[in-house]
Amino acid sequence: MGTGNQTTRLVIQLGDGGSPETFAHTCGANTFGVTLTNNLGENTVLDCDNPLDVPAAIVRHLESQDTSVTITGMVTTAAWPTWRGWADDGSEKNIKILLDESAANNGGFWTLPALLQQLELGKENSGKVTFTATISGAGQRAWTDAT
C-alpha cells in the first residue's frame, strides 16, 4: 500500500454555458471515473544499414488524445432537468474534472468540451432511482494548476 500523500478530492462538474461560466457538482452523484487516453499510431522502420538481416522496429507516435468520464449516483429531482435536457438535446457542454487539492499537493483541474454519450437510469424494488452518465470529450482538454 502506498504511504505517500493521498487524496479523496476528485469531482466532475458541469458548466452552465454562461459567461463567465459557472461549474457545479451534480447533487446525488457519488462515484466519479476519468479515463485519459493517448491514441497511438505506428510505423515499421527498417534498419538502414542492414535492412535484410536486422528486424524492423516499430516506431510509435501520438495521433490523438481522448477523455471520457463516468458519473454515478442517486437521481435528485433538482439535478434531473439538467441531465434530461442534455440527453434530449445532444448539445456540447463544458465540464471540469477537479482534483481539489492545493498547489502544494498538485491540485488543479482539466476543462474540456464534452458530449453526453449515455444516460442510464435504474431502480431496484422500492429503492431510489440511480443514474450512470457516460461523458465523452469533444475537444482538447486543458489543465489549470491550483492557485
Question: One-letter amino acid identity for 138?
Answer: A
- The DSSP 8-state label assigned to residue 105 in this structure reads G
Q: Cβ neighbours of residue 91 under 8 Å, at least 6 residues apart?
A: 115
> Given this model, what pLDDT does residue 4 score?
81
Question: One-letter amino acid identity for 80?
Answer: W
Residue 80 to residues 9, 16, 33, 63, 75: CA-CA distances in angstroms?
24, 14, 20, 37, 7
- As averages over each run of 10 residues, the pLDDT of the chain (147 residues) reads 81 95 94 96 95 94 96 93 95 96 94 98 94 97 95
Give the global pTM. 0.86
> Given this model, what pLDDT does residue 25 score?
93
Q: Cβ neighbours of residue 29 under 8 Å, at least 6 residues apart?
A: 12, 71, 72, 73, 79
Q: Find the DSSP H helices in the chain.
A: 80-89
Cell of 3: 504511504
Cell of 34: 476519468
> Given this model, what pLDDT does residue 1 score?
60
> Given this model, what pLDDT does residue 51 score?
92
CA distance 72 to 122: 11
